[in-house]
């Protein structure tokens, strides 16, 4: 029995095919150990946090000072901050979620999954641990984004509990998207292919939404598309929770999208992962 196996299971190693007999407590222990392993990877490779630390700063400054004058009028960029920062919370979640798919694919290329295959752990624990760590990275990114927003003059039109609800909603939706990117990472041959396909999906969803501009300023066909775009629902829900306004419809739409995506893609991702391992 290897030391790594003993650490993960806390018990003598069993046959690799004994996943079905792994209890909930053991499964939680495995998830914790694997999450710690992923965090240690980040500690050893701090450059992997550059997207989380710099992306919110760059995006906030870029969109406020490039698009802010066009949308709200020259000299009124501070009004655009209240509009775009809640929308960027949705964008942050989607971009960071993509890292899960490339990370899973990279682990297979490096042979890390071959090591996990020999351990009596639930296959789902590997994926859930990845998601937990990425959610933690998302929390940091959203915190920096909001800090930039406040520095540029963003106001909270409601209260702190509503702001926290907006953050939780963004994390919930972002976690559901991770299952899509995990499935993509398990299907594509290389991490570059995962990133390329993901960007083809991300760009239309991000810019064909209410994140950066009001849909009423768009052509009719694009305005119709934004109504069914889950990123628009999340941006509108976050905006209403932070700035004030009707929240029920947008919030329930985000919850429905998140649950639906998870119910459909999580079993497919776990099944695909089991097949590959």
Paired tokens of 164: 């926290």
CB atoms within 10 A of CB 224: 12
Paired tokens of 162: 């509503």
Rounded alpha-carbon distances, angstroms, from residue 266 to 107, 240, 262:
19, 29, 5
Give start and end residues of each alpha helix (H) in 111-229: 112-117, 123-151, 160-187, 191-207, 220-228
Paired tokens of 192: 């570059």
Q: Where are the domains of the chain?
A: 23-276
Total-model pTM = 0.84
Q: Is 248 exposed, middle or buried (0-12, 13-18, 19+ CB in 10 A)?
A: exposed
Print pLDDT tens along the chain (277 aa). Answer: 344 444 444 444 443 444 456 677 777 888 888 888 888 888 888 887 888 889 999 989 988 888 777 776 666 677 789 899 999 998 888 888 888 888 888 878 877 776 776 777 777 788 888 899 999 999 999 999 999 999 998 989 899 999 999 999 999 999 999 999 999 988 888 888 888 888 888 888 888 898 988 888 889 899 889 988 999 999 999 999 999 888 888 999 999 999 999 999 999 988 888 887 6
């Amino acid at each position: 029995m290897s030391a790594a196996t003993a650490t993960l299971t806390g018990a003598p190693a069993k046959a690799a095919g004994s996943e079905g007999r792994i209890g909930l407590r053991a499964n939680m222990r495995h998830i914790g150990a694997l999450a710690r392993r992923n965090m240690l990877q980040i500690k050893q490779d701090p450059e992997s946090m550059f997207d989380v630390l710099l992306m919110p700063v760059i995006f906030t400054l870029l969109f406020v000072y490039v698009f802010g004058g066009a949308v709200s009028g020259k000299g009124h960029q501070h009004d655009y901050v209240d509009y775009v920062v809640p929308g960027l919370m949705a964008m942050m979640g989607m971009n960071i979620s993509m890292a899960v798919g490339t990370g899973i694919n990279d682990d297979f290329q490096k042979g890390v999954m071959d090591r996990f295959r020999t351990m009596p752990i639930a296959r789902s624990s590997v994926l859930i641990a990845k998601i937990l760590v990425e959610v933690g990275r998302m929390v940091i990114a959203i915190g920096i984004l909001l800090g930039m927003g406040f520095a540029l003059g963003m106001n909270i039109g409601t209260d702190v509990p509503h702001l926290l609800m907006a953050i939780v909603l963004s994390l919930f939706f972002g976690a559901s998207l991770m299952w899509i990117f995990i499935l993509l990472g398990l299907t594509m041959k290389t991490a570059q292919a995962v990133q390329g396909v993901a960007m083809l999906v991300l760009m239309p969803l991000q810019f064909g939404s209410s994140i950066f501009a009001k849909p009423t300023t768009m052509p009719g066909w694009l305005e119709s598309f934004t109504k069914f775009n889950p990123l628009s629902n999340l941006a509108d829900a976050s905006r209403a929770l932070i700035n004030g306004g009707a929240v029920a419809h947008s919030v329930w739409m985000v919850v429905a999208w998140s649950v639906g995506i998870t119910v459909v893609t999580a079993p497919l991702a776990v099944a695909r992962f089991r097949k590959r391992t």
